[in-house]
Amino acid sequence: MNSFEFFNPVKLIYGPGEVQRIGVETARFGKRALIVSYTEVGFYGDLFERIHNCLSKEGVEFKDCFVATANPKLSEAKVAIELGKKCGADVIIGVGGGSAMDLSKIVAAGILYPHDLKQMIKFSHSEDTQIPPKEALPILLIPTLPATASEMNPTAVITDDETNRKSYVWEPACLYAKTSILDPTLTLTLPPYQTACGAIDAISHAVEPFLFSDEATFGNLELHDHMQIGVIRAIYENLPRIIQNPDDLALRGLMQFSATVGLNGWLTCGVQGWTPMHQMGHVLSSHYKATHGATLACMMLAWMRYFETKNQNARFKKLARWLWNTENLMEAADLFESYIKSLGVQTRISEFGCTKDDLDNLTQSVVDVSFSANGTLASIPPITREEARKIFELAL
């Protein structure tokens, strides 16, 4: 392993019914809460009424800000920031999946940010123009979709409406939540498609560090391999059971914590954390409004098929051997694709509306945001423009 530092200050509260603790936890950090969630919240039933009652009981004033959409946008953040300033918010509560939680982080930092909001986000990996936030209001998160682990990491992803660029801000200094409440009862009513897409996203968070860790450089990765594969298998093997038994609270809880572990930092201590599949998936979701987990399903399959043709594929073969009992990546990809299709999730980018004529534009969009100054996409090995286009082509 490489030398590393690990720091994760999030207080994690897990258990059925634990959402009732949001009032007590919020009161530890502020007295005027801005609650950030989606434009449509009817599917949550009485959840927000319960949250309001918990806050009122502890003397916390609150203002709802229901502006988030899937793949949240800077324009939504700006609206929420202005509302937060107007109501004098001193604490932010994010309720929802990754989109709502990420937007909450942007808002918490944006209320105190002295620059143009666009400068907060790393919209280019080749130019050093980003100015990360140095401070943020206290953040509390209530995840309702097991997927991104935003509840336990310092990352927020957002799209610039004006340029259609989707990227992220990563800032451990201020974007960790103070408290996150994982209440599996809040996931019981998730539709099958959203359940599956969230799970596939969580799988990808363990797949990428597994694939893009160089054994020759880092030595014996057996501990990391088993941790990463353990998370992947916990999700992979139990997801079909959840689809068949959506009211199984134990399975829902397993999925929720597995997703959190997938990207809370444990799996990447001392190894590389490149995310080239995510970088390419972001372009698909920004261009076609595709669900994030579905774009990652397409990317994982295309990368496996591409690396069947490369000599530098030892990590891919090891993944295929451990999960599908084969070292033939084409065979492994076919098995994985059948699994994903059985869950009702897209496996080809043509299903989002992409055609061969779009590939040059998609590739350029990845280059614009995610390629470094040396003209490659961070990966092991680094990916060139031509290779990125070929991977998109294999995903059609």
Say if residues 377 and 283 touch (Cβ distance below 8 Å): no
Rounded to two decimals, what is the model's pTM? 0.96
The tally of CA atoms less than 13 A away on the side-chain side of residue 172 is 7
Domain locations along the chain:
11-186, 192-395
**Residue ranges in the chain assigned as alpha helix (H):** 22-27, 47-57, 74-86, 98-110, 192-211, 215-218, 222-244, 249-262, 276-288, 292-307, 314-324, 329-342, 359-370, 385-395
Rounded CA separation 316/307 (Å): 7
Task: Read off the pLDDT of residues 152-169 as tens digits, 9 standing for 90 and up.
Answer: 999 999 999 999 999 999
What pLDDT shows up at residue 215?
A: 64
Say if residues 174 and 136 touch (Cβ distance below 8 Å): yes
Q: May I ask the CATH architecture of the domain 11-186?
A: 3-Layer(aba) Sandwich (3.40)
Rounded CA separation 246/174 (Å): 36
Secondary structure (3-state) at 33: strand
Topology of domain 192-395 in CATH is Dehydroquinate synthase-like, alpha domain (1.20.1090)
Say if residues 137 and 92 touch (Cβ distance below 8 Å): yes
Secondary structure (3-state) at 22: helix
Rounded CA separation 149/155 (Å): 9
Rounded CA separation 325/205 (Å): 21
Task: Read off the pLDDT of residues 103-123 as tens digits, 9 standing for 90 and up.
Answer: 999 999 999 999 999 999 999
What pLDDT shows up at residue 213?
A: 82
Tokens of 122: 């790393």
Look at 180-194, 212-226, 265-279, 319-333 and tell me which has the smallest mean pLDDT: 212-226
